Amino acid sequence: MSELEAKVLPEATVARLTQYLRALNALESRGLERTSSGVLAKEAGVNPAILRKDLSWLGSYGTRGVGYVVRELSEHINNTLGLNRDWRVLILGAGNLGRALSGYAGFTTRGFKVRAILDVSPELVGTEVGNLRVEPRNDLAAVVRREEINIAVLAVPGDAAQDLVYELGELDVNSVLSFAPKPLVVPRGMNLRRVDLSTELQILAYLAVQP
């Protein structure tokens, strides 16, 4: 393991690295081969000093007076975030949210391949969602093995989500994104990220009424 691989980056830095990667991709699409910390920071919407501090975690990839090589820095951030691996995604829940997530183009462009979608509803099982067919929730273990799933997305109610978290842990799927509207008990070794849309809307409501 390299010195960089042994480091655990601050969560806020990891979040901003995704912003820098998106900004670098935008710069490359405009034909730019090099960029400065000022330009990259503006494109990513952060302070240049914060950007330089974040990138210092990755080693020395900029040259004073010259800046950063866009593709080189982009590839290095990709490697740091683990985006050079094959990420095979399973969506649990084929309701409106699950169907919307399965068709999200951002997954594919960032290296995440949605391989299957499952649901408990007899009315939904067997229906088409994009290029996928909804499969029965009871086939979870078989689907995980068949598709070599390593990331799961939970688009199900809270009670169902907790049961699924335990089952996914037993199947060694230890990276989970949850849209369930409640905190979940997470097995040892599992990384779970929670997206609570109602909380985000409540924060927006609060900010909107401030003088």
pTM, two decimals, is 0.81
**pLDDT for position 116:** 97
**pLDDT exceeds 70 at position 1:** no
At 65, is the pLDDT very low, low, confident or very high (cuts 50, 70, 90)?
Answer: low
Higher model confidence: residue 105 or residue 148? 148
At 7, is the pLDDT very low, low, confident or very high (cuts 50, 70, 90)?
Answer: low
Mean per-residue pLDDT of the chain = 89
182 close to 158: Cβ distance less than 8 angstroms:
yes
Q: How far apart are CA 67 and CA 65, in angstroms?
A: 6
| Mean pLDDT (whole number) for 158-184 | 93
**pLDDT for position 147:** 97
- Evaluated on CA atoms 152, 135, 125, 111, the torsion sign reads positive
Which residues have C-beta within 8 Å of that of residue 194, sequence separation ≥ 6?
178, 179, 180, 183, 184
Query: What DSSP letter does each residue of 82-114 carry, written as one string?
Result: TTTS-EEEEEE--SHHHHHHHT-HHHHHTTEEE
Higher model confidence: residue 34 or residue 66? 34
17 close to 51: Cβ distance less than 8 angstroms:
no
User: Which residues make beta-bridge pairs with 154?
Assistant: 92, 178
**pLDDT for position 63:** 67
**pLDDT exceeds 60 at position 6:** no
